[in-house]
Chain A
Amino acid sequence: MVKIKFIEHSGQEHDVETNPGASVMIAAVSNSVPGIDADCGGACSCATCHVYVDQEWLVKTGEINPTEEAMLSLSTDRKDNSRLSCQIQVTEDLDGLVVTMPEFQF
């Protein structure tokens, strides 16, 4: 099992355990972590599963793909460490991952 910590904008933390293979978005939604809407169900086409990845994990979470970049670029809360959590695949390497949620999902 892989442990992921989700931190809401308010600071409220949620620790979840998940199996490798699914996305970080699925890990949040299936554990009822609030603040991840995922309206498009993981198709990288709505930007409502936006998270900020802690700096030390940025390399391990992989590259932003062009579609993800296009969606993120329309968000007013975009930062350098922004990702769409539906595009981060959970692997054993991500055990201990920490992500923070923006105040709002667009």
Chain B
Amino acid sequence: MTDASADQSKWSMVGKDPWTMPIEKIDLSHPGIWQANEFLPFMERLRLEDPVHYCAESAVGPYWSITKYKDIMQVDTSPEIFSSEPTIGIVDTYDEYTLPSFISMDPPKHDEQRRIAQPVVAPANLKRLEHLIRQRVCNILDELPLETEFDWVKEVSIELTTQMLATLFDFPFESRHKLTFWSDAATAIPGAGVVSSNEERWAAMEECLQVFTCLWNERVNAEPGNDLVSMLAHGEATQNMPPMEYLGNIILLIVGGNDTTRNSISGGVLALNENPAEYDKLRADRSIIPNMVSEIIRWQTPLAYMRRTALVDTELGGKQIKAGDKVVMWYASGNRDSEVIDRADEFLIDRDKARQHLSFGFGLHRCMGNRLAEMQLRILWEEIMQRFDMVEVVGQPERVYSSFVKGYTHLPVRLHGLN
């Protein structure tokens, strides 16, 4: 695997002019422009001039970028042409460390495994959890200081999503911060802050497997419960899965339930600060919150892309894609496609058809936890508005060094109470 941080200067697009550089050199996969928040104009140029774009040379090899909403929809809903195997990440997996999980499987195995995990985040189960989620949100918010600067990412976004994960796994509550570390380590680029090497990353994954194997052994000998580990241990399609497949599915559920919602929690605060008129709309009418939640998820697009691999030669947008080619659906770009989304470059919390965004993907791999994410964000904003006139951003946000996880490492804020 290429250590992307080591050759940052060679591949980075940071500081380049997106409108005058040779279009074939545009490389959205490099994390630099994502961390520097410079990715939007590169995507805009591709949508306008070359919506199905081939990048022949990059740190992660050649790949196609799909940037228009409708083309993304077509790829996402054609699993017989665009496979999720062997991986949905832009970096090719290397055999000894391959972590199989249903996000990177095609039917029928995908469907069988997903059906086991699905009930835990099905709306009926979530309804039972709503009271507990609200209680935990209130506890977190009530502990926050007024009129004092602190890091929203650490104190709220991470804390809330980690508590939620511990609940869904029935994971020992006092050790819950390990979940955050494993989630960060799983998607980290070595050298970019979380882990310094691949060996360190894999040490974290092995620790994760050990802890979850203990939980498995405990639950497999008990009556079936409502938590994810118990469901996997007792589910017909999952009870005999090899250790690496178990780890793969655990990591999938940790990352899926952690990084994503975390960054929408932070991203919503930032978007409302950058759009004060929208914050005023929210203050005037809190019934707008469910609609705002969808708009926040579109605006943030917490996972910037999903990768597919062409199984056969095919044509898309007039381009010839060959069997074996990497095809990257840039949800972060499709969500700004003004051909499908009115005033796509504006954050409008009362927009019409706010639910029609790409952040959850579409088709068989559509985000399993979408209703949980929406519920967490809805409850959080209902409780924020009960307590604070404003969550004010008081410094520059710092962003994740990744073209996959689109999010924040720090967001300095100050809370102002209701008058």
Contact = CB atoms under 8 A, between A and B. Distances in A.
Interface of A: 37-41, 43-48, 67, 70-71, 73-74, 76-77, 103-106
B114 A43 contact: no
Nearest to A47: B366
Contact of B115 (A41, A45, A46, A74): A74
B225 to A, nearest CB: 17
Contact of B362 (A37, A46, A76, A104): A46
Contacts of A41: 353, 356
B120 to A, nearest CB: 10
For the complex of A and B, the 4 pairs showing the least CB-CB separation, nearest first, are: A104-B123, A45-B362, A76-B122, A45-B363
A11 B19 CA distance: 56
A46 B363 CA distance: 6
A67 B77 contact: yes
Contacts of B360: 39, 46
Contact of A76 (B73, B107, B124, B127): B124
A48 B357 CA distance: 13
Contacts, number: 56
B342 to A, nearest CB: 13
Contacts of B107: 70
Interface string B103-121: 0000100010011001100
B362 A103 contact: no
Contact of A43 (B122, B123, B124, B362): B362
Interface in B70-103: 73, 76-77
Nearest to B126: A104
Contact of A37 (B73, B122, B124, B355): B355
A41 B363 CA distance: 12
B122 A106 contact: yes
B343 interface: no
B59 interface: no
| Main DSSP-derived SS at the A contact region | loop
Contacts of B353: 41
Contacts of B288: none
Contacts of B355: 37-39, 48
Contact of A104 (B114, B366, B371): B371
Nearest to A78: B115
B55 interface: no
B124 A74 contact: no
Given A71-B364, A104-B123, A43 B73 contact: yes
Nearest to A71: B364
12 contacts: A39-B355, A41-B356, A44-B77, A45-B362, A46-B362, A70-B111, A71-B364, A73-B111, A74-B114, A74-B118, A76-B124, A106-B371
Contact of A74 (B76, B77, B111, B356): B111
B123 A106 contact: yes
B114 to A, nearest CB: 6
A93 to B, nearest CB: 29
A19 to B, nearest CB: 21
A47 B122 CA distance: 13
B106 to A, nearest CB: 11
A36 B376 CA distance: 21
A41 to B, nearest CB: 5
A18 to B, nearest CB: 19
Given A71-B364, A74-B111, A40 B356 contact: yes
A92 B366 CA distance: 34
A59 B245 CA distance: 42
A33 B150 CA distance: 44
Contacts of A44: 77
Interface in B346-360: 353, 355-356, 360
Contacts of A103: 123-124
Residue picked from A47, A48, A106, most chain B C-beta under 10 Å: A106
A39 B114 CA distance: 20
Interface string B358-381: 001011101000010000000000
Contacts of A48: 355
